[in-house]
Each structure stands twice: as C-alpha cells, then as structure tokens.
Amino acid sequence: MVSSSAEPGMIQARWQAIQAECPNALNLLAVSKGHPAVAVRELADMGQIDFGESRVQEALPKQKELSDLTQLRWHFIGRLQANKVRAVVRAFPVIHSIDSQELAERISRIALEEGKIPEAFFQVKLRDDPAKGGWEPDALREVWQHLQTLPGLKPIGLMTMAPLGVEASDRQTLFHDCRTLADELDLTHCSMGMSGDWKQAAKAGATWVRVGSGLFGPRPERLL
C-alpha cells in the first residue's frame, strides 16, 4: 500500500485516534477534498465508508479511480451550483449543503428524473456570515412544510458551519441551537463540527462530524 503522506500510516493513525474518541452514535465523515484517491483507499482499508467532497470536478475522477470500492458512500458538502445538480445527484447519495428552496426543488426534480432520492441536509446559518449560504431559522420554518413535500429528496438533517473567528463559548451555543432546531423540525441528524471543533459539536448533539485536515493532513491548496 502506497501512503499519500510523508509518514506512512499517518492517516490511518489519525483515523484510529478520532474513532477512539468518537461516541458510538456519532458518524465520522472523512472529508477527502484536496487529497488523492490513494488517501481515500487507506481509510477505506480501515473500514471507513463515508467520504465528503465539495467540488464535482475534483470528486468525479476520484470516484472513478475508486469504483472498485463499491461500499463507499459519497457525501456532497460544497456549495452546489444549479448546473452541477445532475452530476451531484448521479454521484452522491447524500447532500449536506442544500441552502435554498430553489436548489431543493431543482434537486428533487432532477433526482426523480435520474431515479434517485438523495438524503438531504438543509444548511442553516445561525449567525450572520456573509461568506456562507444557508437558511436563517425563521426562513427555514416558513418553507419547511413545502420542503417536506418534495418527492425527490429525503430530509434527514440540518448542516451548519460556525463562522470563522467565533469564540468557543458562542460556538457551543451555535451548535446547541442547530440541535434544537433539528429537534423542532423532527430531524434526526445534525452535520456540524470540523477538524477544529468536532468535539464541541459532538457534545452539542452532532450526529455527523465532517473532518478533513484532522485526518488527511493539510490540504495542498486552500479549498473551501
């Protein structure tokens, strides 16, 4: 097995360390954006099934290279442009980043055409953050009934990201707010927490944490 990192086995060692700290009910999404297929393979060898990607043009060739690993489940976590919806629906059974009604409707329509029903996380914005998309809680409540009627997606949870520079205590509150909103909407899953804050998110009720650099090491380029 060829290792993609300087120190052989580093990725696997980090994965074991995180798994050891992960409560049973918590799912670890390995965010492989910016890292090659060989790195995904290393974790697949350990039993990791769920991988997250945020750019279609990067993900598709990687998925092709790994097509022998039929057990892998790919999660789309990036900002989703309208013209990429069909490609995403074809290649990703789970989408974490649905951030508008228009996008939700489009995904549903195209998913039905493709004979798919992706699992859907709705992205919420719990603090002002011009850099990020997502619903404010009241805006989501307003369209919630409608979103639930869309036949081509299966709502399972909320996804959120803390704005850069949020203090630890406020970050904790933000994660709690996401959990509370998910409970109100009767959604099981909260996708929240990344390499730097996944433990906080877990304490606040995350069911999925999205960890990239904490597993694979620093990304070669700054990828959103």
Is the Cα torsion angle 45, 47, 53, 57 positive or negative in sign?
positive
Question: Could you tell me the smallest distance in angstroms from the CB atom of residue 217 to ligand PLP?
Answer: 9
Stretch that binds ligand PLP, among 133-141, 148-156, 181-189, 212-220 (CB under 6 A): 212-220
Binds ligand PLP by CB under 6 A, chosen from 48, 54, 108, 200:
54
Q: Centre a 10 Å sphere on the Cβ of residue 83 and count the other Cβ atoms it contains.
A: 8
Contact 36, 64 (CB under 8 A): no
What are the tokens at 3? 């290792």
Stretch that binds ligand PLP, among 13-21, 66-74, 175-183, 207-215 (CB under 6 A): 207-215
Residues 91-150 that bind ligand PLP (CB under 6 A): none
Q: Does 212 bind ligand PLP (CB under 6 A)?
A: yes
Residues 147-176 that bind ligand PLP (CB under 6 A): 161
Contact 124, 137 (CB under 8 A): yes
Cα separation, 123 vs 120, whole angstroms: 9
Judged by CB, which is closer to ligand PLP: 85, or 161? 161
Q: Does 213 bind ligand PLP (CB under 6 A)?
A: yes
Q: Does 63 bind ligand PLP (CB under 6 A)?
A: no
Q: Centre a 10 Å sphere on the Cβ of residue 5 and count the other Cβ atoms it contains.
A: 17
Give the residue among 104, 185, 100 at the shortest CA–CA distance from 144.
185
Q: Does 214 bind ligand PLP (CB under 6 A)?
A: yes
Cα separation, 79 vs 166, whole angstroms: 21
Question: Could you tell me the smallest distance in angstroms from the CB atom of residue 190 to ligand PLP?
Answer: 13
Contact set with ligand PLP (CB under 6 A): 31, 33, 54, 77-78, 161, 194-196, 210-214, 224
